[in-house]
Each structure stands twice: as C-alpha cells, then as structure tokens.
Chain A
Amino acid sequence: QEQLVESGGGLVKPGGSLRLSCAASGFTLSNYYMGWIRQAPGKGLEWLSYISLSSSIIYYADSVKGRLTISRDNAENSLYLQMNSLRVEDTAVYYCARRWGSDDSFDLWGQGTMVTVSS
C-alpha cells in the first residue's frame, strides 16, 4: 500500500544540524509535489515547505527560511529535509506529506519523526 516513512530524528544541541529522510513506497514519488509539516509538543500543525516534481519550485515558511532545505531524489523515491542552526523551538514531530489534486491538499502522511533540540 502507499506509505511514507520518515527517519533521521533525534536529540541535537542548539546550533546543530540534522537531516530528515522520507521514504515513499507503493507509489511513484516523482509524480507528486511533496511537503514537510511539523508539530511542536502539545501544539498545532505548522507547514514548513514543499517541493515540485523536478525540484524547480520550492517554498518555505518564513519561520524556517534560510535554515531548512528541502530536497528530493526521485530515483531513490525519497524526500529530505536538511535542518541547520537548530533552535530549541524547532523541537517537534516532523511529518512528510504528499500533495495531491488540483487543490493541493495533503492526502498521504508519514508517521512522523521526533526532533528534540536541547543542550
């Protein structure tokens, strides 16, 4: 079945870096825009970024622009999020999601990976 599985989360010190991965299975990643959304503990959802099929179109939320970089490897059916200069407030569960349809909702989500930024 169609599935997204995130990995790469963990504990990192403030100022550190982390690279998250999202592996797609059961469908062809290259046919879809993909995005990242996060959720801080006990808080709501925050959209972070999305990337087009060929990586030619990329957008970031203002809150993370310049520190996060989204990328994809269609041959590997994988999506990535490089996170630099991490702050305590970046602590959250990070979800990858598939953008779908002409109205651009997110119809398929991974289970999430936890990132904790703490000294």
Chain B
Amino acid sequence: DIQLTQSPSSLSASVGDRVTITCRASQSISTYLHWYQQKPGKAPNLLIFAASRLQSGVPSRFSGSGSGTDFTLTITSLQPEDFATYYCQQSFSTLYSFGQGTNVEIK
C-alpha cells in the first residue's frame, strides 16, 4: 500500500502569511495526488487535482506542485477562511489513501 506523509501535522500562521504544506509518498505516484480542505463539521472540499490543477471555483491563492514522491500545497496570503485542515490523497494505486492531515491554525 502507498503511504502518504504530510508535514507539518499542524502549523500556526497569520492572515497574509504564505503557507506551505508537503506530502511525501512512499513510492512514485506520478501526479496522481490531490489536495482537500476540510473545516470543522463539514465534508472535505477538493482544492487541487492532479498535483497542480486548480479545481473550478477555488481561489488562485491556492497552488500545488510536485510529481513522483514529493508534493507541495501552497497558500499565498492566507485568508481568515483558510484556517482548516488540509489532506492529500493519492489515486495512483487501485487502493487509495490519504495523508494524516495538516491543521492550519490562527497564530
């Protein structure tokens, strides 16, 4: 099975900060890597698919990069509504998996 490891597990940031979250796969997954945002009590929301493609309706301050085993989600100029938990997910294998999540908190 493919394991996804996110870092950091949590971070504190201020409005306007640039935030970077990484996701490392236990084996190469090409660009079959997606990012989701989840707010408390809500379902996850797709932000980035195929490593770097912005889902329709998602603000352009969100971006993704990477291929193979190392991926990054970047939020430029963090907004109040961006405080949430972020998950990566791989669909390279027939058995999908999620990272453990990164909680972005207000500093």
Query: Is the interface on chain A under 10, 10 to 19, 20 to 34, or 35 or more residues?
Result: 20 to 34
- A111:B43 contact, CB within 8 angstroms: yes
Q: Is the interface of B mostly helix, strand, loop or mixed?
A: loop
Residue of A nearest to B97 (CB): A47
For window 30-59 of A, CB contacts with B under 8 Å fall at 35, 37, 44-47, 50, 59
Binds B, one of A11-19, A68-76, A77-85, A97-105: A97-105
Residue of A nearest to B101 (CB): A44
Partner among B1, B32, B96, B100 whose Cβ is within 8 Å of the Cβ of A44:
B100
Contact (A101, B49) CB under 8 Å given A45-B101, A46-B98: yes
Per-position binary interface string of chain A over residues 86-119, scored 1 when its CB falls under 8 Å from any chain B CB and 0 otherwise? 0000000001000011111111011110000000
Most central of B87, B91, B96, B99 by chain A CB within 10 Å: B96
- A44:B99 contact, CB within 8 angstroms: yes
Contact (A45, B43) CB under 8 Å given A50-B96, A59-B94: no
The complex places the Cα of A112 from the Cα of B99 at a distance, in Å, of 20
For window 60-107 of B, CB contacts with A under 8 Å fall at 87, 89, 91, 94-101
- A44:B87 contact, CB within 8 angstroms: yes
Per-position binary interface string of chain B over residues 38-50, scored 1 when its CB falls under 8 Å from any chain A CB and 0 otherwise? 1000111110011
Residue of A nearest to B87 (CB): A45
Q: Chain A's nearest CB lies how many Å from the CB of B100?
A: 5
- B43:A95 contact, CB within 8 angstroms: yes
The complex places the Cα of A103 from the Cα of B30 at a distance, in Å, of 10
The complex places the Cα of A45 from the Cα of B45 at a distance, in Å, of 12
Contact of A2 with B by CB under 8 A: no
Contacts of B49 in A (CB 8 A): 100-101, 103, 105, 107
Contacts of B46 in A (CB 8 A): 105-107
